[in-house]
A and B are shown apart, each in its own frame.
Chain A
């Protein structure tokens, strides 16, 4: 049994959903044109993951094993609908920018993966810690990717101009190919860094 601190930090480093497990790639590539969009997507996913982990952990003895996947999907879809409506009401700009990727949080493999691999076998406390760690790992990855693409694609970070007015924006980085290439390079660098730091 690992300690709670290890349970929390594994989602951020050792089992980072984006850079180590390659889960949830669609929103990772699709929404990170600006740092704020990446952050918003990360927090939305974190909320859904936290709520679904809690509910599934509470109901883990009540859900029959044979129908567990549809039951999990139903629970997750409920929270996704809540997020969809809340974002639409309070941050319509973000809701418009994330668009199709909000309903698609349902099929984000990270959430179903944690339900299947963790929440159905562990108590509520540990499931909350696990969801927070994984969710934060995902949020950090998306925000980092968003910062890089926004910095070179439009010269700013979170909408604040950094590189000055003389900077020529690199349009490639905010276009779809830029998403693939940036993530590919980051992934290579991460593999290198993890190897050097001795984290396997």
Chain B
């Protein structure tokens, strides 16, 4: 598959949140304001790319050649958890401004299933290192896009008069469904 197709599919046609259902918890939890969802999105792009590169190297250099592929889940989640801690510490020391912006989102990211999901999907798809990097960045952009759109919708939903039973998660999920329906339209453009 060429790189352009990977980018298009990852951002629009096969959006990580709206058609693969990964990272729903932060998607519902942090999408209340546009600013916070942009911050979260940036943190996700950063960690996702870094963890995709590291897990790809670990799988192809350490696990696969020695027949240890079954340790994949354990190795990946530990690496991701460690990596997030490391990024947090390095950012705090070297770039306090960026740390201020991303800091509060970093601990949330360890349990973000999109990060582990992308690491596993890369391996399953058999991407090489370039494709892995491109795929991870585009998936992160797709996540940010879905989140910013959702935040825009939710900011307006708050002003709407509606029954207390549907307010909050219920109406957010139905809106996400309609958004997902819109994104499904992109599937016709490429063959997956």
Residues in A lying within 8 Å of B, measured CB to CB: 22-23, 25-27, 29-30, 69-70, 73-74, 77-78, 80-81, 84-85, 100, 103-104, 106-109, 112, 172, 175-181, 183-185, 187-189, 191-192, 195
Contact = CB atoms under 8 A, between A and B. Distances in A.
Interface string B112-151: 1100110011001000000000000000000000000000
Contacts of B111: 107, 109, 112
A22 B171 contact: no
B25 A26 contact: yes
24 contacts: A25-B25, A26-B113, A27-B21, A73-B78, A73-B81, A74-B74, A77-B74, A84-B73, A100-B117, A103-B72, A104-B113, A107-B77, A107-B110, A109-B111, A112-B111, A172-B181, A178-B177, A180-B180, A181-B177, A181-B178, A184-B171, A185-B170, A187-B169, A188-B165
Nearest to A103: B73
The 7 closest A-B pairs by CB, nearest first: A180-B177, A184-B173, A181-B177, A184-B174, A30-B21, A188-B170, A25-B24
B70 A85 contact: yes
Nearest to A195: B165
B98 interface: no
Given A100-B120, A100-B124, A77 B77 contact: yes
Contacts, number: 120
B146 to A, nearest CB: 12
Q: Which of A26, A27, A80, A185 has the most CB of B within 10 A?
A: A26
> SS class of chain A's interface: helix, strand, loop or mixed?
helix
A114 B46 CA distance: 29
A85 B70 CA distance: 8
A176 B19 contact: yes
Contacts of B100: none
A177 B25 contact: no
